[in-house]
Chains A and B, each alone.
Chain A
């Protein structure tokens, strides 16, 4: 399967613990996005990378959140000192952005569901 993969698919943690999610995008894609989705809502943009550079962060991304894409391939999203309000599905997407073209098609993974007790 050459789609976007995310790990773990489910994570249950206690409040105050740190968690890390991993995303492996489609190999030739230069853009990688993180979204968060809570029940009954559409996905909310968190941040995105062009290759290894993090180009934009939403104000939803508090100081407890950090994302990296060290070699322009896989990415990690870490949440420190988790709170119950962090419970959500964390979605990763990748795309091939061609200069001068539209946003392009985003390919999403199945998501990582976080439950903070």
Chain B
């Protein structure tokens, strides 16, 4: 998988937008960016993924820079339940397991 770099932790006030950055400077042209999160004592949960264009769903928005070397996950109105570890992943394409390689992610703490 293309290497990703995320800050180890971030704080955000409840009700504010949480912006989680991710660097993936070695990403290839056909590799997607995926975001998952893991709430304490639960399995990881898919959030969103994208290739080139910005994406939005009911959980979050994904902004990918034009050169695709970085992206930002945006939780528009963070709640206490959004406290979790957020993983940015670029799966290797063109063979292999396609299994996602998780790093240590960003521990997002939503403050009341």
Contact = CB atoms under 8 A, between A and B. Distances in A.
B46 A107 contact: yes
A25 interface: no
B98 A43 contact: no
Interface in A65-117: 91, 93, 97, 102-103, 105-111
A96 to B, nearest CB: 12
A23 to B, nearest CB: 11
Nearest to B47: A105
Interface string A6-48: 0000000000000000000000000101010000111111001
Contacts, number: 58
Name B's interface SS.
loop
B100 A103 contact: yes
B105 A45 contact: no
Nearest to B43: A108
A107 B45 CA distance: 7
B34 A103 contact: yes
Given A55-B97, A102-B91, A102-B93, A41 B104 contact: yes
Given A102-B91, A103-B32, A48 B99 contact: yes
B68 interface: no
B97 A48 contact: yes
A43 B102 contact: yes
Contact of A45 (B43, B85, B100): B100
Contacts of B32: 102-103
A88 B4 CA distance: 24
8 contacts: A33-B99, A40-B104, A43-B44, A102-B51, A106-B36, A106-B46, A107-B46, A109-B43
Interface of A: 4, 31, 33, 35, 40-45, 48, 55-56, 91, 93, 97, 102-103, 105-111
